[in-house]
């Protein structure tokens, strides 16, 4: 975030924090240009000063303040004076576009273009994709050895479970039980949320499992993708899907590497879908138009792994970890297209092969690298 600011006020530094507590308006007036306020919850008084500065700015200059905080910030704050003045942006790990130093490409906007995008051939192998899965997107693990990455993930989970969870929870979470619920969620990543099964796995009451799942979501370890509904479609399931927020963290907690993934057809499918789902969810914050992410499954066995909805237009995505796909892999997409008609904008089977090709009307097979490498047609 520092690259976007002219002045950085890190409130975790004692001297800066003291100044923010004693004279929040003065510290902002003395700062120049765009101001990044980091760890704002260490001196909540600073938010009142931000509010007053925004209200006093008659020119209404947007983006003057960037305010960031820890996972417990919103829960610790007694009030939130930024309503109507601050826009909340959910943060995630680095996207694959960012890892390849292309910060401007948004695949969601590309998939909604009027003209169907023409993606190029991919040079990545299935093993290349699986290596990206197990590495994950946390900046601090990129470039580390497998052992170094593992130790970092261990420390990250320990911090969240043993410290951060207690600081944001309304109840008093038991770390061992919370870890058991997390282990169940990891084993079920890419699947519909089943609270009863999670409770059995973790040996806790269903209510406790429900509370802990919400807590893990607040800690940004897991995320739910809601079920999609449409008035023209019936018998749709209502359970959300659950995904671990970072595929590398999921691989670590499952103690699998690329070789182990290649040997487990079920698990590789789960983690590859998590890889794609979390990659897309990271781009939702920067789309040109508001876009929502869902999944679809009905009681007749029809399903689509991921659905993007924008202005009543639908992009459907199937995720396959195999290096070759055919029409059978697009059954759900063609079913949805036939049900929705013109509302179905585009469908794609995202897979680990190298060649993009058209399967049917408005339905394509595209390499997963299309999520971070722009199409060839302008």
107 vs 114: CA distance, rounded Å: 14
Mean pLDDT check: name the lowest of 170-174, 193-197, 212-216: 170-174
Report d(CA 273, CA 192) in Å as an integer. Answer: 13
Give the pLDDT confidence of 16-41 residue by residue, as tens digits: 999 999 999 999 999 888 999 988 88
pLDDT digits (tens, 9 = 90+) for 197-235: 999 999 999 999 999 999 999 888 999 999 998 876 777
* Residue 79 scores a pLDDT above 90: no
Say what the pLDDT of residue 90 is.
77
Q: What is the pTM of this model?
A: 0.88
**344-351 sheet: strands from edge to edge:** 292-297, 303-310, 313-319, 344-351, 363-367, 357-360
Domain boundaries, the chain: 2-76, 96-371
What is the tens place of the pLDDT at every residue in 256-265?
A: 999 999 999 9
Q: What is the pLDDT of residue 238?
A: 87
């Amino acid at each position: 975030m520092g690259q976007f600011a002219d002045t950085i006020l890190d409130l975790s530094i004692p001297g800066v924090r003291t100044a923010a507590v004693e004279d929040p308006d003065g510290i902002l007036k003395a700062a120049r240009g765009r101001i990044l306020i980091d760890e704002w919850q260490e001196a909540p008084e600073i938010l009142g000063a931000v509010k007053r500065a925004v209200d006093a700015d008659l020119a209404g200059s947007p983006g003057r303040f960037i305010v960031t905080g820890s996972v417990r910030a919103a829960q610790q704050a007694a009030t939130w004076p930024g309503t109507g003045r601050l826009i909340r942006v959910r943060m995630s790990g680095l996207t694959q576009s960012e890892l390849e130093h292309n910060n401007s490409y948004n695949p969601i906007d590309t998939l909604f273009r009027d003209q169907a995008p023409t993606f190029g051939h991919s040079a990545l192998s299935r093993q290349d994709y699986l290596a990206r899965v197990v590495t994950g997107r946390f900046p601090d693990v990129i470039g580390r050895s497998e052992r170094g990455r593992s130790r970092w993930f261990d420390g990250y989970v320990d911090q969240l479970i043993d410290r951060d969870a207690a600081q944001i929870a309304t109840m008093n979470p038991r770390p061992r039980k919370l870890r058991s619920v997390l282990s169940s969620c990891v084993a079920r990543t890419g699947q519909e949320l089943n609270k009863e099964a999670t409770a059995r796995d973790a040996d806790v009451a269903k209510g406790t499992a429900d509370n802990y799942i919400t807590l893990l979501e607040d800690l940004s370890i897991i995320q739910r993708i809601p079920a999609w509904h449409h008035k023209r479609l019936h018998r749709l399931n209502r359970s959300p899907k659950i995904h671990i927020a970072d595929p590398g963290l999921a691989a670590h907690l499952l103690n699998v590497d690329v070789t182990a993934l290649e040997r487990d057809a079920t698990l590789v499918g789960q983690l590859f879908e998590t890889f794609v789902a979390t990659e897309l969810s990271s781009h939702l914050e920067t789309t040109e138009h508001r876009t929502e992410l869902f999944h679809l499954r009905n009681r007749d066995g029809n399903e689509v792994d991921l659905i993007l909805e924008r202005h009543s237009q639908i992009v459907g995505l199937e995720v396959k970890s195999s290096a070759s796909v055919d029409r059978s892999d697009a059954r759900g997409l063609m079913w949805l297209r036939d049900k929705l008609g013109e509302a179905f904008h585009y469908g794609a089977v995202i897979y680990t092969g190298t060649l993009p090709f058209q399967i049917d009307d408005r339905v394509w097979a595209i390499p997963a690298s299309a999520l971070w490498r722009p199409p060839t047609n302008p």
